[in-house]
Amino acid sequence: MRRTARLLTGTALAVAAAGFVAAPAYADEGDGSLEVFPSQAVPGTQITVNTAVCGPEGTAKGDAGAVGAGTFTLAPSTHEGEAIGQFRVPPSAQPGTYEIVANCADGGRQVSGDLVVTLSAARGQEPRGSVKTGVGGALGPDPVQTAAGVAALAVAAAGGTWLLHRRARGDGI
């Protein structure tokens, strides 16, 4: 019963976790849902863009002409049924914010996202110190050991009862 409950809980959590990860984790400042990664880059960087708008089998034509990288193709991928494409920021690109556009091959839907070009790398600071990744919930007695202990005590109780019973009958100890 408890095991079933735990399995169900585990399944629910897994589904919840999958949903959580599927949600776009990146700031998407454009008017559509084109994820641009990294969204901030120095000239020469390879950029990956992806969108789910074109459907699981959909391809799209990408346009990074704004930043001088021309057109590129977004092809279906194994990631959440999204179309993915890549281009490289030209070494000559100037700092600024550029709109990257993708047009679905079928249906003509257009999505866009922003790419910020900077001259110095804007990676976040490095983390510091240890990471709080446990509470000790896995510690404690082994369940098998606990069961063995309970069984041994049951045997002891039965033995004791038997002896007391004989004594009460006057069998002598």
Partner 1 sequence: MHRVSNAAIGTVTVVALCSGAWLLGGGAGTHTPPQPSAAQAARTGRGGEPRGAPALPPSPPDRIRIPSIRVNAPLMGLALTPSGSLDVPPAAKKNLAGWYEAGTTPGEKGTAVVAGHVDNADGPAVFYDLGALKKGSRIEVDRRDGSVAVFTVDAVSVYDAEHFPDEKVYGPADRPELRVITCGGGYSRSTGYQGNVVVFAHLTGSR
Q: Which residues bind partner 1 (CB under 8 A)?
A: 6, 10, 13-14, 16-18, 20-21, 25-26, 37-38, 45-46, 48, 50, 77-79, 84, 86, 123-142, 145-146, 148-156, 159-160, 162-163, 166, 171-173
Shortest Cβ distance from residue 135 to partner 1 (Å)? Answer: 6
With 0-12 / 13-18 / 19 or more C-beta atoms within 10 angstroms meaning exposed / middle / buried, residue 95 is exposed
Kindly calculate the radius of gyration of the chain based on its CA atoms and give it in whole angstroms.
31
**Do β-strands 35-37 and 110-117 pair in parallel, antiparallel, or remain unpaired?**
unpaired
Shortest Cβ distance from residue 29 to partner 1 (Å)? Answer: 16
Q: Quick one: DSSP state of residue 58? A: -
Long-range contacts of range 13-22, CB-CB < 8 Å, 24 or more positions apart?
Answer: 22/80
Backbone angles phi, psi at 25, to 5 degrees: -100, 0
d(CA 171, CA 173): 7
